[in-house]
């Protein structure tokens, strides 16, 4: 292999890196390798690319050098390996030149468990004389070129040599990134799986939302639309678009809101039952508690849709009435009497819905990191717990008042099935009742003592 320095730009003379600047080597001239090289150059490093064919390289990075692999490896202490894992064996013959060098494995896989061991561990086994550090794999070529945004400024690294990690961290800092040391090279596998995860905390809440929406959609479809067709031969399928949607959305929203508060209540009862806070919660309860924020935000989305649908109800009924007056001539002149009780019920449930929605939005806003970061823990837990339960109470009351006295009439149990709003009241009512039990003074006292470290049976 030829090892002389070549120019990257065919029209220019070779541009050797200034001797005083630190050199970093990049193996691999793909997208990621080139973007890394560019960022390193911008940060003031001398960049040397290692390439199989240094002369025919089409790499056009002004200011960087391209050398053969062996010469490139010798020119720097730090070498980024931006090459696919399948091609790692080209490094084996370079063992001598790579001795004592810090190799950064930036690779990612296409799917989990693609290989028996982590790419970085495989690299280390191929070149035992070098110090392998896994890192930067969560960065994309795109974010490197455009300058990392806040969200992907963090890079995770791991490796067995503390000194090697320090070298890599120093480079990361100079590139404007913040590197987080995750430990030894055995963590590499986890880091490699990291970019493969797609919204991990959203998965369960999304499944719940989709499952509940589908279940209630079909339930209401059968109860309302198919029932009307089967019993009266009436086609009211148009109701799918607005009426049905405006039932599914609030029902799913209310159930998911109660699912946000159920794990907290269950955890308190578990602590009461065990008489201590020092035992771990079961895993399912832990993971449920961890996705409460996502559950809450999704349910806020559904509530928002309900409000939008409700806003268009008047427009829609005016349109329908106009169509009816065109086609039918009114023969009867009905007089309706004003009923104060009904008016109270109507206004109350609307008002409770609005208040509930207002608090709902407040909960959503305070769960955003930029807002919750400026709140103290006490303020945050006041909003999320006290106001959260109040929101659940208001929305549940809104639905109870909407149902009003219809709970008692048998005509609404079409095909012996209860309407959707009754079904969706079960869970929030249970959560609120349990919460009520928890805030009764004697239970509350015990819970507070347990949370302060008291253990039942320990003081005997
Ligand atoms: C039903 C209004 C907020 C849960 C209704 C209905 C209206 C309404 C007009 C009757 C719909 C119909 O007749 O088809 C409002 C207004 C809100 C609001 C104006 C706030 C601006 C909420 C919130 C929730 C909620 C935050 C909680 C998740 C429900 C439920 C029903 C309902 C479960 C019964 C759905 C059914 O099965 O028909 N609301 N609402 N509402 N609302 Fe709200």
Q: What is the percent of the chain with per-residue pLDDT over 70, rounded to a whole number? A: 89
Does residue 405 carry a pLDDT above 60? yes
Residue 413 counted as domain residue = yes
Q: Which one of 196, 222, 255 terminates a domain? A: 196
What per-residue confidence (pLDDT) applies to 347?
93
Pocket flag, ligand 1, residue 258 (CB < 6 Å): no
Of residues 117, 112, 76, 72, the one with CA closest to residue 94 = 72
User: DSSP letters along 336-380, please?
Assistant: ----HHHHHHHHHHHHHHHHHHHHHHHHHHHTSHHHHTTS-HHHH
163 with 228, same domain: the answer is no
Residue 308 counted as domain residue = yes
247, 398, 403, 417: residue to mutate for ligand 1 pocket, most atoms within 8 A of CB:
398
287 with 352, same domain: the answer is yes
219 with 92, same domain: the answer is no
Q: How far does residue 254's CA lie from ligand 1's centre (Å)?
A: 10
CA 59 to chain centre: 37
CA dihedral of residues 108, 109, 111, 112 (deg, nearest 10): -80
Q: How far does residue 197's CA lie from ligand 1's centre (Å)?
A: 36
Residue 104 counted as domain residue = yes
347, 353, 357, 363: residue to mutate for ligand 1 pocket, most atoms within 8 A of CB:
353
What per-residue confidence (pLDDT) applies to 59?
60
User: Which atom of ligand 1 is closest in space to residue 254's alpha carbon?
Assistant: 28
User: Which atom of ligand 1 is closest in space to residue 420's alpha carbon?
Assistant: 37
169 with 249, same domain: the answer is no
Instruction: Give the range of the structural domain holding residue 130, as residue numbers without chain letter.
Output: 23-196
Q: How buried is 121 (Cβ within 10 angstroms: 0-12 exposed, 13-18 middle, 19+ buried)? A: buried
257 with 140, same domain: the answer is no
Residue 255 contacts by C-beta under 8 Å, 6 or more apart in sequence? 212, 299, 424, 427, 428
135 with 273, same domain: the answer is no
Q: How far does residue 203's CA lie from ligand 1's centre (Å)?
A: 27
221, 225, 250: residue to mutate for ligand 1 pocket, most atoms within 8 A of CB:
250
243 with 373, same domain: the answer is yes
Q: Which one of 166, 196, 226 terminates a domain? A: 196
C-alpha–C-alpha distance, residues 211 and 24, integer Å:
51
229 with 185, same domain: the answer is no
Find the CATH number of the domain harbouring 125: 3.40.50.720
Does residue 9 carry a pLDDT above 50? no
Residue 440 counted as domain residue = yes
What per-residue confidence (pLDDT) applies to 220?
96
Q: How far does residue 400's CA lie from ligand 1's centre (Å)?
A: 10
Pocket flag, ligand 1, residue 427 (CB < 6 Å): no
What per-residue confidence (pLDDT) applies to 87?
92
Kindly list the distances between the CA atom of residue 29 and the CA atoms of 32, 80, 101, in Å, as whole numbers in the listed order.
Answer: 8, 11, 20
Mean pLDDT of the chain: 87
Helix axes 388-403, 245-274, angle to 10 degrees: 130
C-alpha–C-alpha distance, residues 263 and 289, integer Å:
6
Residue 459 counted as domain residue = no
pLDDT (tens digit per residue) in 84-137: 999 999 999 999 999 999 999 999 888 888 898 999 999 999 999 999 999 998
User: Which atom of ligand 1 is closest in space to residue 243's alpha carbon?
Assistant: 14
- Average pLDDT of the residues in 366-393: 92
Between these two residues, 59 and 49, which has the higher pLDDT value?
49
67 with 149, same domain: the answer is yes
What per-residue confidence (pLDDT) applies to 183?
94
Pocket flag, ligand 1, residue 359 (CB < 6 Å): no
Coil, strand, or helix at residue 447?
helix
- The phi and psi torsions of 22 (rounded to 5 degrees) equal -70, 140
Coil, strand, or helix at residue 145?
helix
pTM for this model (two decimals): 0.75
Residue 394 contacts by C-beta under 8 Å, 6 or more apart in sequence? 352, 353, 355, 356, 359
100 with 219, same domain: the answer is no
Contact 360, 302 (CB under 8 A): no
244 with 382, same domain: the answer is yes
Residue 158 counted as domain residue = yes
Q: Which one of 196, 224, 248 terminates a domain? A: 196
Residue 2 counted as domain residue = no
Count the domains in the chain. 2
216 with 304, same domain: the answer is yes
Between these two residues, 108 and 19, which has the higher pLDDT value?
108
Closest residue (by CA) to atom 21 of ligand 1?
354
Phi-psi region of 233 (alpha: psi -120 to 50; beta: other; left: phi over 0): left
Residue 355 counted as domain residue = yes
Closest residue (by CA) to atom 35 of ligand 1?
247
Closest residue (by CA) to atom 16 of ligand 1?
353
């Amino acid at each position: 292999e030829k090892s002389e320095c070549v120019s990257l730009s065919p029209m220019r003379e070779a541009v050797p890196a200034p001797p005083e600047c630190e050199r970093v080597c990049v193996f691999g001239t793909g997208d990621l390798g080139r973007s890394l090289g560019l960022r390193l150059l911008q940060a003031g490093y001398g960049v040397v690319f290692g390439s199989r064919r240094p002369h025919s390289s089409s790499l056009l990075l002004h200011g960087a050098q391209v050398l053969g692999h062996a010469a490139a490896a010798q020119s720097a202490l730090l070498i980024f390996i931006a090459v696919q894992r399948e091609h790692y064996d080209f490094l084996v013959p370079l063992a001598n030149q790579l001795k004592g060098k810090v190799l950064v494995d930036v690779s990612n896989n296409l799917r989990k468990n693609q290989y028996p061991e982590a790419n970085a561990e495989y690299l280390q086994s191929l070149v035992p004389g070098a110090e392998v550090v896994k890192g930067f794999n969560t960065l994309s070529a795109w974010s490197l070129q455009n300058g990392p945004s806040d969200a992907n400024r963090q890079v995770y690294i791991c490796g067995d040599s503390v000194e090697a990690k320090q070298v890599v961290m120093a480079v990361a800092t100079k590139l404007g990134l913040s590197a987080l040391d995750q430990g030894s090279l055995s963590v590499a596998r986890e880091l490699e799986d990291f970019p493969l995860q797609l919204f991990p905390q959203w998965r369960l809440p999304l499944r719940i939302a989709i499952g509940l929406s589908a279940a209630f959609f079909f339930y209401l479809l059968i109860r309302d639309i198919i029932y009307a067709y089967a019993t009266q031969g009436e086609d009211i399928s148009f109701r799918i678009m607005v009426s049905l949607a405006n039932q599914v959305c609030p029902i799913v929203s209310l159930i998911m809101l109660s699912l946000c508060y159920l794990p907290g209540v269950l955890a308190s009862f578990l602590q009461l039952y065990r008489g201590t806070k020092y035992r771990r919660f079961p895993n399912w309860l832990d993971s449920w508690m961890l996705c409460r924020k996502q559950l809450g935000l999704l349910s806020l989305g559904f509530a928002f849709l309900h409000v939008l649908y409700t806003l268009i109800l008047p427009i829609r009924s005016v349109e329908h009435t106009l169509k009816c007056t065109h086609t039918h001539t009114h023969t009867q002149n009905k007089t309706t009497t004003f009923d104060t009780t009904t008016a109270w019920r109507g206004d109350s449930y609307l008002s409770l819905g609005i208040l509930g929605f207002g608090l709902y939005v407040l909960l959503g806003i305070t769960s955003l990191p930029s807002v919750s970061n400026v709140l103290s823990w006490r303020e945050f837990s006041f909003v999320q717990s006290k106001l959260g339960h109040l929101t659940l109470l208001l929305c549940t009351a809104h639905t109870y008042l909407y149902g009003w006295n219809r709970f008692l009439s048998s005509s609404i149990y079409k095909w012996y099935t209860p309407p959707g709003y009754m079904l969706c009241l079960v869970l929030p009512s249970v959560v609120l009742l349990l919460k009520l039990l928890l805030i009764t003074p004697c239970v509350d006292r015990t819970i507070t003592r347990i949370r302060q470290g008291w253990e039942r049976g320990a003081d005997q």
